Structure 1
């Protein structure tokens, strides 16, 4: 019976009504121990008639076992995994130890879990209950948070109960507080069968603060006389301690054999009655010894063993002596099958160890490897830390502590990683391990700093790279590349360490006779550009791009530096190579399920499609970037939205996005340059060339080798020429010309010709404008091509060549409208009107009535992808995709996928 809780029960009823209507719900029930969270979850399960119900509960001692909680929840549904796509099924199998292969990424497991729950809900609405979520292992918690964020129309309810605030991904939170005084008295009357003095009753109500478990437990330790009026005198200890004390009083009243049986159950989190009977036999405990424990309501022994409350388990376990705990863990280790559950056996053996034990430490190390293979870096760190504790020799102890520190960082715990790193550095470490320790300290500095680079991190990376040089030249080159990135992208945060310092330090590594891999080639090209100039670097950078587009590229290099290689492609005006590298990087990230990495290459592809004027592809990439960030609980940087808005020319939208991006820009070094570049585009689109010049000059003051500075040059030149200050663009023109000639691509030479036409005398302008139009007509430069027509048409109008001006401006206007580039389209329309041509401004699109997600799903469906493939791309279930498609069909007045291509002309 739930006393009170009318509002909370109504909330649970609404959850059930939602999933019965085909919608999903994700709810976090939060409150202190004993406040009634489990009772409310039981109510939900009891009311879920005609629904499937699956349950799991976090267990404190299970927090070190990756995916233990998720396996509990999904175990009853695993028969449906055959319906999942192969990669998702393989990821789930690997996470649950059903096959030996490593899982590609923990987010892939999340996507597979979403698919599994969706498949189950196709049969009947599904209620997933997760109690004590504060004790879920990290891998399970992350996977379930992923699922909670992506639930939409799957008829799935995912309800967590937790003692504390956490990022569960839930969209609704229900904070469970204590009962009112009136409800507290009602509960006391229903639970206490002897006369209760009013003063004692009020004292219990006051001290329990409405906590239902406290209301039930506090009177248990009182004699009848105390209940009648003499009870609860003196100062009360903390509430949780008093509740545990009540449980312990009953526990300590049991005979030794019964106490040992309950301690055994407390140490075995699975509640496996068969396993417990086997362990009890090892300890010589009779099977009927469990009955008195059940009789005093501490725990129930049936097909599974279940404690009345998690506080019972923790109270019993903590009250035992170290030797008593070791005895039961040893018994559990002896009866745990090493083939079926090697990791749990290793953990029990570790808890049973009385001192140094290399055999157990080695077994824990093997468990750590398996945990890392399943994406359980927190579990791997715990195994390795305990392995270090048990290592009898100093060298293996230090090596395991270092490995534990690396796993802690991968698990997102930089402070814990530093503590373990200090243990490792106490040594002894060999030369390679010392270098890895330096590298780890630099990586922790990055993680803790919250910025792309910092002086400390860059210096530490540089020192680590120097240590790696005589030991592993490839690792040295990769670390130098990381150090260079730390300085390049940190701006003022880099302090006294400059690009040239890192480049000079890396010279010996780049000249090593060992043939460089892709990362080494990229390092060589960038150091050459910094030390010897752009012209000398272009052939080396082009060679690096070819390596990043090779089938020989390793996944580690591709995922780590593919985004950087793609950005280099733009800096040297290599459209085809940049597109190939970015496409390969996106494919690698998708295949690996690397959602943290995926937004970077998608951002590169979006920039390429923006240049091509493919607004449908840009919108699709933008939606996928947002989806990836939502799936990982992070927030996307708004730079793509800012540049898109700059081309659109809507001042209100642009400034709104700028306000959102400004704080991130200040924190992220050269990201501020990108903001200035966006402002230069925005003002040039509006024809406010004085403002565009000021924005471009701010970025021009601090150019970087691999940012948008090359493109900033032609924005500056256009703004300077059209604002009547051609002298302000002279230096930029010299730099642009040098870079364009070194690149030699039509894209580079076309931009150079267009820019030179703006600054040259009238005699040469016609030929330069024509050259720019001819060179920029290739793939990947449609916006630049249209701008070449626009600038040519504006010049023709100034020369009073009206007919030719109308033709050029009309071409520019038509191209801009087709690409959805409203800002420059309006500039072209204004110029056309000055020549006497009226221009229609109504440019509505069939997708205007669709939400961004609906438009993205419609485009993907029109391209031929199935619902399952679309769901995999956008981290949605096929059922949610189908729901959105039905809405698209209704809004576009069509009835099938075959009609989408005609209804969406921009595809």
Structure 2
């Protein structure tokens, strides 16, 4: 611990924190030999009053699913029965303790979080994970998820890694200070050494403790006296490993082979090692030279001097000798207790094709998939394919490996596997599967314009092989073109034409006109898109509805994003809210939690229009947190829209600018439409109508599916209030083309409001109304003209808008309609009538948190002579953190702590801790009181 005062103070503070009931996460980051393991040993030694579990990543184990996680959890499985049934079942399945549905990584993560919390219920828990850079993928995902959700469980999760580890808090472990490095070096240098040589050693090792101890060890006196070897550019880690290799090479042959067996056997199981040694004809005495050299300890478990010793023994081995060691380990590994590790050893012992071993690996892949280990399954299948002589079977196994790689999120590895699969004979079904997977990779990697050509090419090849897959791929191609929007050029037309031509034999042309019953969901979606592009909105609306009827969240998750567009095209608020609620419920309960971020974002966007900003924000925050643990974050479109409606200028513009940058970088013109719409909403709320007009005009220049109608509604308001009545009328008429075919309360309310703002349909000329005061042509009239036919028509439109929106579940457009109607009434000097609209508008907008629009309503109320109490934010959220607000609302809805934890991916102990804080802040003492408190 020489020279490690800062590090030791940090570790001591971490132990104090978990003693006080807080959780901590820390990554000790430093190069090989920096002293990370020594610091972990210190931490374990100091944790005398708590429970300690240790684990380590092992390079040969990186392809075996959950291998490191099992090391963490095995000592804690006595607490397994305390977990809720779904979590307990998921963890048992992942560890192979029982059979069940393949668990999603996130529910396994929630189970591990609960297991750690239960284990720490009576005394603090310290979990130490060394060599995190060698964790298997599933263990890394789960432990990272757990690390990000720990809060108040009295758990410390401490990693040691050579690089930054998934953005977790870290403590850099650098080289020793010069004085300490000199003292350490002097402790191992033999006799007197020239000061210049000592300085060179210090400079080359940069204070790395292991290098200071090991590099001089095998140097001759002459090298130390006259120069520390030949200058080299070899990285320090490699030089230290080379030093270990030289020390290993000096050992007797049997000792070297025993050391190799210990390096290849990753669990540190000493009895297993001795059984393998016996198969290899190695006597127990062979261990003595390696132990005497300080390279390994064979006690209760195998413990290497340093991970680089294991690496040195493994990397320097002769291939034939390595195969012999794997064969011995396979022979002594129990086929019933550990079949996958036995299969892995047999695979590495095989010299050439071996169908028996390949079949065993294929069975291991099936078991890995059953546990949710897709990356492990892919590794098993790839090795099985390598050992397969029959070309057809080899191609089938390679294709299965590609599918597993795709499912694990390793998209970059899929194309090479598909190319290898195509080298052998594939039946039409196999070729179709190759093409389908190639399309899915193309769409997953790039959902913008670049994906359109490869998707169309794949869809054309699939048309003969698998018509259903062809339809799905054409939908993806058209979706990519829709996403590209104004960047797509002629791609959308080409995609629609190709889909129409290639699928005409499947009655899609007829379906485009009638949506024949019995079509699959992708076929119905495709029919709707063909009709929308070729025949217009009126012809497409019935097909949009038919497609929505066919799409179910529990079966057609790949089409969920398209359903999100279609519900706006048919203006169906009931379906919008119900579909998004079902999607989230299925993603949570159906254990497809990797899809939960998308479902949460979809639901969050629906709740914006329902006026439930706090709930929407909670879901979007959850989606972002989950996405960080599982892959790329959903694009921030919904977050930008929510920020715009909240009306805080700078935070909203920051998000909208980020969305604009993302759109440009990814060739996603559709997102530019969303950004323009968001700006228009923001500036309309703030009363900056000229800026809103410019933003809405930009947003509606392209016919982006769903987005254009949002932008048109904002354009009508911005143009009317800016005095550009021609632009308002033109936007009103364009909007009517989209609302009339739908004929729903949402559509009728939106159109009525546009009619009121733009004035009678005959009005097309520009007006000289003062932009600061204008709201519609009728607003230019004097109070005496308030009963004129034009004014009566406008007022009737406002009333219809309010009535239609009141018939929906969308509180936000209802409040905005009341605001605009109240503004119109106040400008016509009908103050009492204006207050009747402005009061509920102001209350609703302030409660939901639409601050810009609420301020507009407040100013209008003041102008009517009414006193307005300013409300800067909805309810009591100013006192609660976002997480506390989520927990409080769920508790008020009657959810138990475990249920809240399952929803928010927190341990029940953390939920309880936050609830105590919520009770204190709100001045309540029970959940019953919480139910009557505004949150």
Q: TM-score range by the shorter chain?
A: over 0.9
Q: Which stretch of structure 1 is more off in the superposition, 622-631 or 146-155?
A: 622-631
Bigger drift between 534-543 and 135-144 goes to: 534-543
Classify 1:492/1:337 alpha carbon distance in 2 versus 1 (closer, same or farther; 3 Å): farther
Alignment correspondent of 1:771: 800
Q: Secondary structure at the match of 2:171?
A: strand
SS at match of 2:383: helix
Query: Shift in Å at residue 42 of structure 1?
Result: 0.7
Q: Given the superposition, is the C-alpha separation of residues 208 and 619 from structure 1 closer, same or farther in structure 2, using an over 3 Å criterion?
A: closer
Per-residue CA distance 1:205-261 (angstroms, 9 max, x = gap) = 4443322222222333245x5598467454467343443343334433333333222
Matching residue within 264, 276, 279 for 2:276: 279
Give the C-alpha shift of residue 631 in structure 1.
4.0
Q: Is the 8 A contact 2:584 2:599 kept in 1?
A: yes
Give the corresponding residue for 2:66.
67
Runs of 4+ in 1 over 6 A off after TM superposition: none
CA deviations on 1:279-314 (whole Å, 9 max, x unpaired) are 222223333432333222221222322222112122
Relative to structure 1, the CA distance from residue 642 to residue 288 in structure 2 (aligned partners, 3 Å threshold; closer, same or farther) is same
Give the Cα separation in 1 of the matches to 2:605 and 2:246: 68
CA shift digits 1:414-471 (9 cap, x unpaired): 333333333333343333333433343444444544xx3233x222222222333333
Give the distance between the partners of 1:208 and 1:800, measured in 2 at CA: 84
CA distance in 2, matches of 1:199, 1:612: 75
Partner of 1:210: 207
CA apart distance, 1:820: 3.3
* Matched residue, 2:50: 51
Is structure 2 residue 665 aligned with structure 1 residue 680? no
User: Counterpart of 2:150?
Assistant: 151
Distance 1:243-1:813 versus aligned 2 partners, 3 A rule: closer
Relative to structure 1, the CA distance from residue 102 to residue 195 in structure 2 (aligned partners, 3 Å threshold; closer, same or farther) is farther
Q: Compute the RMSD of aligned alpha carbons.
A: 2.6
Question: Which of 801-810 and 527-536 deviates more?
Answer: 801-810
- Distance (Å, rounded) in 2 between the aligned partners of 1:739 and 1:86: 48
**Hey, what's the Cα distance between the residues in 1 that align with 2:230 and 2:746?**
85
1:315 alignment partner in structure 2: 312
Other structure's SS at 2:861 match: helix
Larger deviation: 289-298 or 833-842?
833-842
Counterpart residue number, 1:480? 474
What does residue 166 of structure 1 align with? 165
Seen in structure 2, the aligned counterparts of structure 1 residues 73 and 684 have a Cα distance that, compared at 3 Å, is same
| Partner Cα distance (1:103, 1:601) in 2 | 20
After superposition, the Cα gap between the structure-2 partners of 1:499 and 1:230, relative to the gap in structure 1 and judged at 3 Å, is same
- TM-score when scaled to structure 2? 0.90
Provide the secondary structure at the position in 1 that maps to 2:313: helix
Alignment check: 8 A CA contact 2:223 2:229 kept: no
In the other structure, the counterpart of 1:17 is: 16
Q: Name the counterpart of 2:511.
A: none
TM-score normalised by L of structure 1:
0.93
- Say which of 890, 902, 910 aligns to 1:872: 902
Matches within 5 A, 1:168-187: 169-171=167-169, 173-187=170-184
> Greater CA deviation, 348-357 or 472-481?
472-481
Q: Residues 564-623 of structure 1, C-alpha deviation per residue, up to 9 Å, x if partnerless? A: 213311221111122221111111211244444223332332233222223443343234
C-alpha contact 1:862 1:901 (8 A) present in aligned 2: yes
What is the alpha-carbon distance in structure 2 between the residues aligned to residue 188 and residue 830 of structure 1? Answer: 76
Equivalent-residue separation in structure 1 for 2:267 and 2:658 (angstroms): 47
Is the Cα–Cα contact under 8 Å of residues 554 and 583 in structure 2 kept in the other structure?
no
Q: Against the structure 1 CA distance between its residues 631 and 202, is the aligned structure 2 distance closer, same or farther, given a 3 Å change threshold? A: closer
The one of 491, 494, 497 aligned to 2:485: 491
Contact 2:436 2:462 survives alignment (8 Å): no
The Cα shift of 1:336 comes to 1.6
Contact 2:116 2:155 in 1 (8 A): yes
CA distance in 1, matches of 2:796, 2:14: 70
Closer, same or farther: CA 372–730 of 1 in aligned 2, 3 Å: same
Q: In the aligned structure 2, how far is the partner of 1:821 from the partner of 1:408?
A: 44
1:511 aligns with 2:507: yes
CA distance in 1, matches of 2:883, 2:493: 42
Which range moves more in the overlay, 349-358 or 460-469?
460-469
Going from structure 1 to structure 2, the CA distance change for 1:412 and 1:762 (only over 3 Å counts) comes to same
On the 8 A contact 1:271/1:304 being kept in 2, the answer is: yes
Determine the structure 1 residue equivalent to 2:781.
Answer: none
Q: Which residue of 1 aligns with 2:764?
A: none
Higher mean alpha-carbon deviation, 870-879 vs 196-205, is at 196-205
Q: How many angstroms does 1:58 deviate by?
A: 0.9
Partner of 2:566: 568
Distance 2:847 2:219 in 1: 82
Tell me which of 442, 461, 466 is aligned to 2:460: 466
Provide the C-alpha distance between the structure 2 equivalents of 1:846 and 1:202, rounded to a whole number of angstroms.
64
Shift of 1:39: 1.0
Aligned partner of 1:544 in structure 2 is 547
Q: How does 1:752-763 map to 2 (within 5 A)?
A: 752-758=751-757, 759-760=759-760, 761-763=790-792
| SS, match of residue 269 in structure 1 | coil
Give the 5 Å matches for 1:361-760: 361-449=358-446, 452-455=447-450, 457-499=451-493, 501-502=495-496, 504-506=498-500, 507-508=503-504, 511=507, 515-549=518-552, 554-555=554-555, 557=556, 559-632=557-630, 635=633, 637-666=635-664, 667=666, 668-705=668-705, 707-758=706-757, 759-760=759-760
Aligned length: 892
Unaligned runs of 5+ in 1: none
Q: CA 1:680 to 1:261, structure 2 compared with 1: closer, same or farther past 3 Å? A: same
Q: Secondary structure at the match of 1:470?
A: helix
DSSP-derived class of the 1:895 partner: coil
Q: Which residue of structure 1 aligns with residue 862 of structure 2?
A: 833
User: Is the 2:577–2:607 contact (alpha carbons within 8 Å) kept by the matching residues of 1?
Assistant: no
Give, in angstroms, the shift of residue 36 of structure 1.
1.3
Native 8 Å contact 1:628 1:874 kept in 2? no
Structure 1 residue matching 2:54: 3-state secondary structure: strand
Query: Cα distance 1:764–1:377, how it changes in 2: closer, same or farther (>3 A)?
Result: same
Change (3 A) 1:220 1:843: closer
Which residue of structure 1 lines up, in the alignment, with residue 779 of structure 2? none
Cα deviations by residue, 1:468-507 (Å, 9 ceiling, x for unpaired): 3333333222222212211111224435421463365144
Offset of residue 348 of structure 1: 0.7
- In the alignment, which residue of structure 1 is the partner of 2:129? 130
Please tell me whether the aligned partners of residues 195 and 228 of structure 1 are also in contact (alpha carbons under 8 angstroms): no
Task: Tell me the secondary structure at the aligned position of residue 903 of structure 1.
Answer: coil
